[in-house]
């Protein structure tokens, strides 16, 4: 099997990313709209510095993507907004490769803290486990944030643990 390539997201990736977001069955229509807004910000406004996107592909097929950016009004803090992998290629290490790639880019940019937010819903248990296996620590829980019974969970990784 050919190895994956991680490269800046291009306009040609947009429809594949949208398809992946739908097929994961993890995101609400409103969440998909937000994800697509960030994709479009990256693609259509190269002057913006808030959202940075990379795509994982193999032989031209989009397998997943990551979106991250510096947290406004902070020094060295970055938000990891989205990682999504095609359901046909989940559990193949693509999400981990995207995460490790992003951590390295952030470290080289002087990042000292990476923040990831996710939901407490049961369907996100594999996502939470993924972050925990990769050294992220649950630092905060905001009860009923997304809706009643759906807490916002905030995971953190300090760059000292990236070296």
Q: Which residues of the chain have pLDDT under 70?
A: 1-2, 161-163
- Residue 158: half-sphere exposure toward Cβ, Cα within 13 Å: 3
Question: Under CATH, to which class is 5-162 assigned?
Answer: alpha beta
Distance CA 161, CA 159 (A): 5
Beta carbons within 8 Å of 34's beta carbon, 6+ residues apart: none
Closest to 135 (Cα-Cα) out of 83, 107, 96, 108: 96
What are the boundaries of each domain within the chain?
Answer: 5-162
11 vs 46, 102, 138, CA distance in Å? 12, 20, 34
pTM of the model: 0.92
Length of the chain counted residue by residue: 163
| Assigned token pair, 95 | 């999400």
133 vs 44, 52, 155, CA distance in Å? 35, 24, 12
- Residue 2 is predicted with a pLDDT of 58
What are the residue ranges of helices labelled H in the chain? 14-23, 29-44, 94-108, 125-133
- Residue 73 is predicted with a pLDDT of 94
């Amino acid at each position: 099997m050919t190895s994956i390539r991680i490269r800046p997201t291009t306009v040609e990736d947009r429809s594949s990313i949208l398809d992946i977001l739908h097929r994961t069955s993890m995101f609400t229509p409103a969440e998909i709209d937000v994800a697509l807004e960030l994709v479009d910000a990256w693609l259509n406004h190269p002057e913006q510095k808030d959202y940075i996107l990379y795509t994982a592909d193999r032989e031209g097929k989009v397998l997943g993507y990551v979106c991250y950016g510096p947290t406004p009004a902070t020094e060295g803090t970055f938000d990891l907004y989205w990682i999504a992998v095609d359901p046909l290629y989940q559990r193949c290490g693509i999400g981990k490769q995207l995460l490790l790639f992003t951590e390295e880019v952030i470290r080289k940019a002087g990042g000292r803290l990476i923040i990831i937010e996710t939901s407490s819903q049961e369907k996100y248990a594999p996502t939470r486990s993924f972050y925990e296996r990769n050294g992220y620590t649950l630092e905060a829980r905001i009860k009923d944030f997304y809706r009643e019974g759906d807490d916002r969970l905030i995971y953190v990784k300090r760059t000292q643990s990236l070296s």
